[in-house]
Structure 1
Amino acid sequence: MAVQQMYPRLVVPDADTAIAFYTAAFGAELVERFTDGSGAVVHALLRAGPAVWAVKDGDAADPPPSGAGGVVLALYVDDPDAVAAAMVDGGATVVFPVSDHAYGDRAGRLADPFGHRWTVAARTEDLSPEQVQDRTERAYP
């Protein structure tokens, strides 16, 4: 058996509001959106460049998060400062601001209004794995 595709599905309290947020913050396009008989979103697929993810309204089977979970979604973008600003404009909060890091990225972490954490980053240097390890050990002893 071969895996054909994997993408995260984010459970949120209001999928249509989340779709609007991700469209504005990331320039995402809505690929598909399906609802149940009550109008609740059971699946909405979004795409921003090569990144693909889905959102759905929380329900009894999949309740929305009540706090920060154990997953951080990492998104490489052309301009992490601009994306972070767009996220904040849409209601996200800064976990740590976008800045240059020793491991060769300009990155920051934000929490979206739906309880999901995102790292937005851009590569600033092409480093070998050994260089990243060495710099990380020195920067975070």
Structure 2
Amino acid sequence: MEARFPRREDIPRAAVDFMAGQVKVEAALFVSYAWPGRTIEHHRTQIRKFHDFQEPTVGDEDKLADWLATKICPVEMSRDRLRAALLTRCREDRIEPPKATRIERVLSAAETLFERNFTHTTLNRLSFDSVDKLEELITPPPAHGEF
């Protein structure tokens, strides 16, 4: 439903019991399933293939950051809403969402890119006189005795 693989602790007991009944195994076997390792990676590959999803690449993350910066950040700066937009876009593009730490990197990159573009665009719209006056405002006055 969320187009991502859950952590073991995210899976409700009722879901484990239901799925165990579906595949006709004991629900107690769930605790012995090896979450790290080749078996789970093989199972995840099969699931991705069945649902036509791909693992995220660095290139995908860069495209997501650019998309967020140009389409979402101009109207929304809440981290939670940016994260929700990112996850929705991943589902639409059939990309497995990046891990939580990578999501934070994508969000930070998008915010930085948006702020840089916003500043550049704003600066280009100002007259030279306005830029000079703004620089005067942010330039500290000389210390006492300096010229």
Higher-strand-fraction structure: 1
The alignment's TM-score, normalised by the length of structure 1, stands at 0.24
Report 1 or 2 for greater relative contact order, CA contacts < 8 Å, sequence distance ≥ 6.
Answer: 2
Higher-helix-fraction structure: 2
Look at both structures and tell me which one has the larger radius of gyration over its CA atoms: 2
